[in-house]
Structure 1
């Protein structure tokens, strides 16, 4: 006698539409009201899901924002495949636009600010976003050096800090990010 087919347990499997609604709601609410006013309750209300749904998938608003940042960065700020001085310069310009014009850039800036006084946020941001992105950026520089496109005066990590740091500083302080800043940084630090 055949046994009845086993029922697949869906348990805490994420509904993709609900997941996207939560990420979009968190993104929008952060931009509208800022990090401190962002709550799981508000995200749930805007996304049309229960708080329990959010807490089942994410332990905190920081984790929701990290998932938002990771998903948006893949689409809006990919690290270039082509390893040239021009592609690196274009990536840095795109990074500046990402920080100043995109909601996901605002998420990154909010998480960086929160990380300054919350060690758990700092650790999660480093592990889930900054570390993996830095590895991709380091690989880009290494490929450009190996191809003879650029030579570095500093180590790859120090070069990335010197290239990215001023852009982040401008965005954090609300200052514009002049095209000439990115051009000068790349010309000075990359020896194309």
Structure 2
């Protein structure tokens, strides 16, 4: 059984070097060809250091992806829900459709099919918190009268973001700005 990582024992410099190395290798070689050994070599740390902090390469890449998503795609609240959703969703599309995050996230998604621990981590560290944040933004719009009382906000999130992730998983071209605006319009009309 893998011990729970102790964040207090991390060197921040090594931590950032490991995340950068993992993303860089994933962009260069593809997720399947990235190994913990290669990440350690590029980051200038031991393999033992990586395993002390993360249980697998998927966990390393998940942290890197989750950090980037949270940092680069906040949920704005300007009082205009459609504009705020467009800003947020466009940011997600941009991150997922370009290296290094796009290939890393695709690899994580494929790895989840046979790694239950990674699947739980994705839900707990990325998907769950992001869905909560999205529902929070919709709840704010509901209080401001932009969405009807009693609207199923969880379903609205699924309807908004499902098509974006569908396109990503199936390696379809990312939606254009116009397509995102159209999707947002359709969904908001359903819940207004």
The alignment's TM-score, normalised by the length of structure 1, stands at: 0.85
Matched, 1:162 2:159: yes
For 1:163 and 1:25, the matched residues in 2 are separated by: 33
Which position in structure 1 is the counterpart of 2:137? 140
Q: Which residue number in structure 2 is paired with residue 17 of structure 1?
A: 13
| 1:21 shift after superposition | 0.2
1:36-185 mapped onto 2 (5 Å cutoff): 36-83=32-79, 84-151=81-148, 155-172=152-169, 173-185=171-183
RMSD: 2.3
How far apart are residue 50 of structure 1 and its match? 1.0
Q: Show structure 2 runs of 5+ residues with no match.
A: 1-6
Q: CA deviation at 1:81?
A: 3.6
- Cα distance in structure 1, aligned partners of 2:155 and 2:161: 10
For residues 132 and 12 of structure 1, what CA distance do their matches in structure 2 show? Answer: 23
Question: Unaligned regions of 5+ residues in structure 1, if any?
Answer: 1-10
1:119 is displaced (CA, Å) by 2.2
Measured against aligned partners, the alpha-carbon deviations of 1:32-80 in whole angstroms (never above 9, x if no partner) come to 1122111110000111111111111112112111211122122222222
CA distance in 1, matches of 2:22, 2:102: 13
Q: Deviations over 1:89-124 (max 9, x none)?
A: 221121111110252243223212221333222111
Q: Which runs of 4+ in 1 moved over 3 A?
A: 150-154
3-state SS, counterpart of residue 174 of structure 2 = coil
TM-score by length of 2: 0.85
In structure 1, distance between residues paired with 2:86 and 2:149: 14
- 1:4-50 deviations in Å (ceiling 9; x for gaps): xxxxxxx9711111100000000111111122111110000111111
Q: Tell me how far apart the structure 1 counterparts of residues 125 and 176 of structure 2 sit (CA, whole Å).
A: 29
> CA offset at residue 154 of structure 1?
5.7
8 Å contact 1:138–1:160 — kept in the other structure? yes
